[in-house]
Structure 1
Amino acid sequence: MSAHEERWERFLDPDVVRPSLFMATMFITTFEILKNSIVDRIRDFYSIGWSEEGSTVSPKYEANVLARNKSTVYASLNWLLEHQAINDEDLKTFELLKKTRNLLAHQLFAVVTGQAESNHTDQFHVLVELLRKIEVWWVVNVEIPTNPDYADAEVDEEGIVPGAILSLQMLLEVAGGNTELLEAWRRERAKRHPHAP
């Protein structure tokens, strides 16, 4: 079979295209979650109130974060680096993941059909680990120390499952065809609203 015929074979086989497309879109989605975590957590940290437009941010956010780089993402990464939430290796990893995300976003058809090479499936766990590392840092260094309920509590970082990771796990389960979460939600809703349709 020629390379051209192999590409058509791959393109027309749902058992090949479906998982490839799924992993590519999950990688892009998770990368966006990572970027949001990088930016939004810091912005929320500098939030000083709420208005009709959303949260109001302290002028310190501009001075302490945004002044570091024209890109909000890179300014935020620099802030995280300074506060030891991430290290230089993590910055290199982010660049690698960004390159993969851009390949997928701009050449999705070529990647899914095997015309362009991508190792996004192998990199997916690296992407999730970087997201988890940043989220756990916030829990351990900001949320727990500012919550009096956890004063003097022993913290097992390995046991922490941040909300972003839990949401991602749920999304993977649902997108993978698992209906258990939907059924549990429906049972709980029926308990709370017995006469609802």
Structure 2
Amino acid sequence: MFTGIVEELGEIVATEQLADAARLTIRGKLVTSDAGHGDSIAVNGVCLTVVDVVDGDSFTVDVMAETLNRSSIGALVEGSRVNLERAAALDSRLGGHLVQGHVDGTGTVLSRTPSENWEIVRISLPDAIARYVVEKGSITVDGVSLTVSGLGIADDAAADGNRDWFEVSLIPTTLALTVLGTAPVGTTVNLEVDVIAKYVERLAQRG
């Protein structure tokens, strides 16, 4: 379980394609400082398991085919920057919201509108998860816990086929310390909706 508060910007230092998976080596001095085999680290919002620690500042993870197909992890190459967060400790503050690290779908950055103190980013929203997203609710974008500041439906579908969109407002800290700060229009991002909404829907169906 995570909170969506990015601890560190890491970097992909090596990739290895396996038969039905990929092995990534990721540099992140802070999150590696107390990491061990079997620990969970969120990489751009995807919960991955540490296989080995390398040179004290990097770790390796194996990514199965399903994760590669359902997230943007498969597009990472050597030199890619990534958001990193260690699993939440029970005695820590919940700064964001409850994040599982299980990607529900991907969206595309549609536009960026800068302001004096923040930037509004519009992202396409897959039809399959649109019903779980509400204005002022929480959503995780590439592992970052954010508040939905706007929702809408475009006249035409985006390049990824989605018509629904949502907006988030990024403060200077988020712009400076996460990959969202420099993600250009057209970037594919990982999305995880608030799991509580899915539980409520399931309960309502069975009621």
Structure showing greater Rg? 1
Structure (1/2) with the larger helix percentage: 1
Structure (1/2) with the larger strand percentage: 2
Q: TM-score, normalised by structure 2?
A: 0.23
Q: TM-score, normalised by structure 1?
A: 0.23
